[in-house]
Amino acid sequence: MQSLLELLQDGRFHSGEDLGRILGVSRSAVWKQLQVFQGDLGIEVHRVPGKGYRLARPLSLLRSDQLAAAELPWPLRVMGSVDSTNVQAVRLFGDGCAPPFAVLAERQTAGRGRRGRPWVSPFAENLYYSLLWQVSGGMRQLEGLSLVVGLALVRTLHDMGVGTAGLKWPNDVLVDGRKIAGILLELSGDPEDVCQVVIGVGVNVNMPMTIAREIDQPWISMRDALGEPVDRNELAIKFSRHLQDYLQRHQSQGFSAFTSEWEQHHLWQGRQVALSSGAQPIVGMVIGVDSSGALRLMVDGGERVFSGGELSLRLHHDS
């Protein structure tokens, strides 16, 4: 399957006879596999007599050889289809894989975002990336970690040309008010000693707008922002390098070293927001974040601080 997709990923026409000769199979076998692509993976294939087959849209497939040649700070394990890269990373750790290592997948069948929301994960369109990272010294070493990962993502997107990318507390990256990436951290191990954290990142890379009906919030892809397709391998390489840099500095200096940088990239700095944690939202103006990554709001003339993974932040309608 992978070999056939690699031949077709350029979006050009290829004859069934040529494809079969290169792969060492019959034209009928090629056609059957293309039907699998359409039925199981949702990849649209055009068939034109006299020209052959082509994909409706070119693909940027993940390349294990290209990623390995980049000499990244941790191994990247590329998989075709998984339920969730976060879950797969935990499985591999349980099977004896030593951290740090990252899992990438062409698609997820049960991708998850914050608060248990599904993460739409079509085949070969986006970046689904989970790093299993080990920390000594207890959970306190993880303060502000999701915000630091957000900084690494923003730095990567800026390097790739998406210069308007910015942060929304606590775990989102936005472009022009629309979500382009999200972060999900999941912890295990001893909260007082050695613990593992899976840093899950999803980036909308080349996903077409036809998927919009499946997503319950405004979103944008890198392709939409840039006006051209994006190489997901290049994105994974750049992000891995930036993530290593930010994680190492966070480990040695703590989140307090990043508060100023984070606030500079926070798109809602100084804005009126509504923070939901229950039935009644709390309305206030964003002051910034504290040394642990908690959100600082000016509410009714006084400062209040909020933290927690179940909080939801929205711009207030009067902002």
Same domain, 34 and 74: no
The CATH number covering residue 273 comes to: 2.30.30.100
Q: Is 159 exposed, middle or buried (0-12, 13-18, 19+ CB in 10 A)?
A: middle
The question of whether 314 is a catalytic residue gets the answer: yes
Q: What is the pLDDT confidence band of residue 309, given thresholds at 50, 70 and 90?
A: low
Same domain, 286 and 205: no
Same domain, 138 and 205: yes
Beta bridge partners of 190: none
Q: Are 286 and 269 in contact (CB under 8 A)?
A: yes
Q: Is residue 108 part of an annotated ligand binding site? A: yes
Buried b vs exposed e over 146-155: b needs ≥16 C-beta within 10 Å?
Answer: bbbbbbbbbb
Same domain, 158 and 28: no
Q: Is residue 84 part of an annotated ligand binding site? A: yes
Q: What is the pLDDT confidence band of residue 231, given thresholds at 50, 70 and 90?
A: very high
Q: Are 140 and 163 in contact (CB under 8 A)?
A: no
Same domain, 108 and 223: yes
Of 12, 47, 51, 314, which is the active-site residue?
Answer: 314
The mean pLDDT value for 127-133 works out to: 97
Task: List, for residues 247-263, the tens digit of each pLDDT value.
Answer: 999 999 999 999 999 99
Domain boundary residue among 246, 263, 280? 263
Question: Helices 16-23 and 27-36 sit at what angle, rounded to 10 degrees?
Answer: 100
Same domain, 239 and 307: no
Q: What is the pLDDT confidence band of residue 201, given thresholds at 50, 70 and 90?
A: very high
pLDDT at 319: 42
Same domain, 94 and 156: yes
Q: Is residue 113 part of an annotated ligand binding site? A: yes
Residue range(s) defining the domain that contains residue 17: 2-55
The mean pLDDT value for 177-183 works out to: 95
Same domain, 22 and 139: no
Percent of the chain topping pLDDT 70: 95
pLDDT at 193: 84
Integer angstrom CA distances of residue 182 from 173, 202, 210: 6, 5, 20
The CATH number covering residue 28 comes to: 1.10.10.10
**Mean of per-residue pLDDT scores for the chain:** 91
Q: What is the pLDDT confidence band of residue 1, given thresholds at 50, 70 and 90?
A: low
Domain boundary residue among 31, 55, 79? 55
Q: Is residue 114 part of an annotated ligand binding site? A: yes
Same domain, 92 and 162: yes
Same domain, 179 and 71: yes
Same domain, 159 and 229: yes
Of 179, 223, 232, 296, which is the active-site residue?
Answer: 179
Domain boundary residue among 242, 263, 284? 263
* Contacts (Cβ under 8 Å, ≥6 apart) of 301: none
Higher pLDDT, residue 150 or 191 = 150
Same domain, 171 and 278: no
**Total domains present in the chain:** 3
Strands 76-82 and 101-108, by their bridges, are: parallel
Q: Is residue 86 part of an annotated ligand binding site? A: yes
Q: Is residue 260 part of an annotated ligand binding site? A: no
Of 54, 77, 107, 114, which is the active-site residue?
Answer: 114
